[in-house]
Every structure is written in structure tokens, then in C-alpha cells.
């Protein structure tokens, strides 16, 4: 019980810190959408491989995704990958962050829980730290049919990532 509480506290702290650093300021939201709209996405029928190309950015290739428990709670649609411009609330600096974005629709009623993604190489060894799923809007209680945008921050170097796995705390 204490280990689970410690894990939860650690994940919650990291989520708060990441939110403070990476959540965009309102004035940048329209610019962020513009960045995504100017990019070309190709996606396989199975939603496992997504590529992004843009004249300003290198191509991002997304490995297979194991949605895991996330797919028990949500229907997952509109999966896209791309660079997102965000302003750090701490430094005021504009950074370009690689994101995996998707739309979720609740399959049933449940209370908010913490979901996160982990990144593994071809030998199933974790190659980067976890990335919490951020929902916009975030609901305290999800009811069947409620929709939200969701995203995770991807590692800057995806070359060693063979699979992305979603989990729940």
C-alpha cells in the first residue's frame, strides 16, 4: 500500500511539474493549432504506424502502440503525431515538443484516474521516462459518451523506441 502511494505521489508530482512547464499560454494556442494543421500525416489502417512530415521538421515515425487499459475506458480516434509549440510558464521560452495526440470517448462511467505511456526498445527494455496522458478538458467523473482531446509528450529521439505501451496507476 505504501509503495503504491509513493508511486502515485511521484507520478502526480511529475504530472504537475510537466503541466506547469508544458501547458501552453492562451495566446499560443492558435499558433500551436497552426503548426499541426500545416503538417502531413499518414496513418496505417491499424493505427499502429503514424508518420509526420513537414518542410520545417524531420519526419517522425511512431512505432506500434499498445493502448492497454486505456482502450478499456475509451474509444480512441484521430491519432496524430507532430511538433507542438509551447511556452514555458517558468522561463517564457518557446519550445517545440513532439506530441502524440488523440481523441477519446468514454465507454462507461468512471472516476478520473492517471494514465501514462512508457517507451520500450526491441528487447522490451524501457528507453525513456514515462509520459502522463494529459486530457483537455479533464473531468472528475467521466460519463459514457464524454469526449476529450488527449496527448502525451514523446521522447525527442524516437530512434530506439520500438513500442509505446499505455498503463494506469
Q: Distances in Å between the alpha carbon of 153 and those of 20, 22, 55?
A: 14, 9, 21
In eight-state DSSP terms, residue 24 is P
State pLDDT tens for residues 35-73.
333 333 333 333 333 333 333 334 467 899 999 999 999
State pLDDT tens for residues 98-123.
999 999 999 999 999 999 999 999 99
Number of folded domains in the chain?
1
pLDDT band at 128 (very low <50, low <70, confident <90, very high): confident
β 50-54/40-43 pair status: antiparallel
Backbone angles phi, psi at 80, to 5 degrees: -140, 155
What pLDDT is recorded for position 29? 34
Q: Are 156 and 98 in contact (CB under 8 A)?
A: yes
Considering the chain, what percentage of its residues have pLDDT values greater than 70?
64
Domain that holds residue 9: 2-168
Amino acid at each position: 500500500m505504501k509503495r503504491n502511494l509513493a508511486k502515485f505521489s511521484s507520478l502526480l508530482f511529475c504530472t504537475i511539474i510537466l503541466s506547469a512547464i508544458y501547458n501552453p499560454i492562451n495566446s499560443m494556442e492558435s499558433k500551436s493549432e497552426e503548426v499541426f494543421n500545416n503538417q502531413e500525416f499518414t496513418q496505417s489502417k491499424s493505427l499502429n504506424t503514424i508518420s509526420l512530415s513537414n518542410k520545417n521538421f524531420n519526419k517522425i515515425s511512431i512505432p506500434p502502440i499498445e493502448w492497454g487499459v486505456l482502450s478499456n475506458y475509451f474509444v480512441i480516434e484521430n491519432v496524430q503525431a507532430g511538433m507542438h509549440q509551447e511556452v514555458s510558464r517558468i522561463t517564457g521560452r518557446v519550445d517545440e515538443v513532439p506530441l502524440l495526440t488523440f481523441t477519446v470517448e468514454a465507454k462507461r462511467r468512471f472516476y478520473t484516474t492517471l494514465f501514462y505511456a512508457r517507451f520500450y526498445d526491441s528487447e522490451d527494455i524501457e528507453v525513456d521516462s514515462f509520459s502522463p496522458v494529459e486530457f483537455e478538458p479533464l473531468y472528475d467523473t467521466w460519463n459514457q459518451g464524454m469526449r476529450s482531446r488527449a496527448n502525451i509528450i514523446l521522447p525527442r529521439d524516437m530512434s530506439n523506441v520500438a513500442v509505446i505501451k499505455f498503463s494506469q496507476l
